[in-house]
């Protein structure tokens, strides 16, 4: 009876083994595809972020360059703006006399 049971189990295992291996192969292929899609998505996002930083840096460089190139054109406006700044009255600071008491006798303390 034990031998018969063993042969039946081995026959069943042989019948489903090939199908299970095939199914596992398909699952592994699907997992690989999904994994690659995730990696591609991460790389795409990293490249986009890198490009955004590069564009922001370039924009700052262009603004600095524009400021340097238009400095003399803007100088008139700057001077005009500075002339409109309200004048602050200068007040003269006078030295004040400070009363200092004469020193008392040396060596005597009360």
- The pLDDT of 80-94, averaged and rounded, is 64
Helix (H, G, I), strand (E, B) or coil at 90: coil
| Domains in the chain, number | 1
Query: Is a pLDDT exceeding 90 seen at residue 104?
Result: no
- Alpha-carbon distance of 63 to 44, in angstroms, equals 28
pTM across the whole model: 0.49
Question: Following CA atoms 38, 42, 43, 47 in sequence, which dihedral angle do they give, to the nearest 10 degrees?
Answer: 150
Question: What's the CA gap between 71 and 78, in Å, rounded?
Answer: 9
Note whether residue 59 is domain-resident.
yes
Q: Which domain holds residue 29?
A: 2-83
Mean pLDDT of 36-56: 97
Position 65 in a domain: yes
């Amino acid at each position: 009876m034990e031998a018969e049971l063993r042969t039946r189990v081995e026959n069943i295992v042989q019948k489903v083994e090939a199908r299970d291996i095939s199914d596992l192969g398909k699952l592994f292929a699907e997992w690989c595809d999904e994994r690659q899609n995730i990696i591609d998505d991460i790389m795409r996002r990293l490249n986009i972020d890198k490009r955004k930083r590069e564009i922001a840096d370039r924009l700052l460089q262009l603004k600095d360059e524009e400021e340097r190139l238009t400095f003399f054109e803007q100088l008139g406006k700057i001077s005009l703006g500075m002339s409109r700044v309200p004048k602050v009255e200068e007040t003269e600071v006078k030295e004040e006399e400070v009363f200092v008491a004469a020193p008392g006798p040396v060596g005597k303390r009360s």
